[in-house]
Every structure is written in C-alpha cells, then in structure tokens.
Amino acid sequence: MVYVILADGFEEIEALAPVDILRRGGVEVRTAGAFGTEVTGGHGVQVKADCLLEDVELDRAEMIVIPGGLKGTETLEKTQPVLELLKRANERGLLLAAICAAPRVLKEAGLMEGKRCVCHPAHVQYMQASRVLDGPYAVRDGNIITGKGAGASLDYGFELLAALRGDDAAAEIAGKMVWDRQQPRT
C-alpha cells in the first residue's frame, strides 16, 4: 500500500501523476487528506481523498509520498502528526518520497541529513544538510526518493514504481504510456 498525503495547496500533477502510474503498475494507492477528505490543489483542482491521515496504516504501507506545492508543503512541514508519521515510517524502513518543495517536509522530520536528493531550485536553500544534485529528475538514496518538480512528475512516478516493483515493471508501464523515461541517479 502506498499513501499519498494531501493538504490544501498540493501540486496536482505531482500527486496525481504518480498515483496514476502506480495504479497502472498494480500498486494499491490511497490518498490521505491531512485535514479532511476534501482537498484543493494549488491550481484549484478539488480532490476527494480516499482516507484521512489518521487512517494511514503503517503495518500495510510500503511507501509514503508527499507531493509538492508551496502551500501544501508549508502546511505539512508544520504538522506534527505528519512529521511523526514520517519518522515512524522511516524507523520501519518504509520508502519515503517527496517532490519539488516537499523534500522540505522530510527535512523537517529529520530524515534528509547527508542524503542525495533533488528538489525545485527555489527550495535548495532549505535543504542545507542534504546533498542536492542538479541534473536528474528523480534520485533515490536508500529509502528516500525525491523528484525535482512538476515537470519531473512522470519520471518521479516511474522511479516510485521501480522502487516498489522493479525496473522492468516501470519500463513496461512507461512503454504503454509512450514515455521515454529519464534514468534516475541512485
């Protein structure tokens, strides 16, 4: 099970493109609203989350995903239940993923020190304890996967699928979607 945590102001493509890719790859995905099931993205797209944050079951989880979007990121990095969930997930060795501004949420949870990552260029300044790379769209360092930004959402989604089901599964879905996947740096 993959949980995608949503708060008002999330970046729609960074949340929904990976959800789509993962579901195409046979992964069970649930969106979880941090403050309710009715969540509005940064560009006004309204989404009905599958469950609430308190419904996230770490015993069933393989991965927790945090989409970017400035308002959503700023909210989640100040939300203690989200930070505690990420810490517990990390202690269990679950995969954790964040894209664009959202690696800041992982940083706030104390999970990014010394990690190689990518993020939106406007947020590099917040990632001082990390080793931010410039080139790739998606980077995996241990159990942490990061994506660069909205334009990298498909490559990031395929990297999430590859981490869960292998490179062949990601390549198969990318081919069916007619996408020439950028190979990430690990």
Among all residues, which ones are annotated catalytic?
100
Cα–Cα distance measured from residue 117 to residue 26, given in angstroms and rounded to the nearest whole number? 26
- Find out whether 119 and 77 touch, Cβ atoms under 8 Å: no
- Give the residue from 50, 45, 110, 90 showing the smallest Cα distance to 72: 45
Instruction: Region of 26 please: left (phi>0), alpha (psi -120 to 50) or beta.
Output: left
Assess contact for 24 and 178: CB atoms under 8 A: no
Give 27-74 as a DSSP string.
--EEEEESS-SEEE-TTS-EEE-SEEGGG--TTT-SEEEE---HHHHH
The dihedrals phi and psi of 88, each to the nearest 5 degrees, come to: -65, -40
Residue 138: which H helix or E strand, with range?
strand 138-141
Q: How far apart are alpha carbons 30 and 124 in whole angstroms?
A: 29
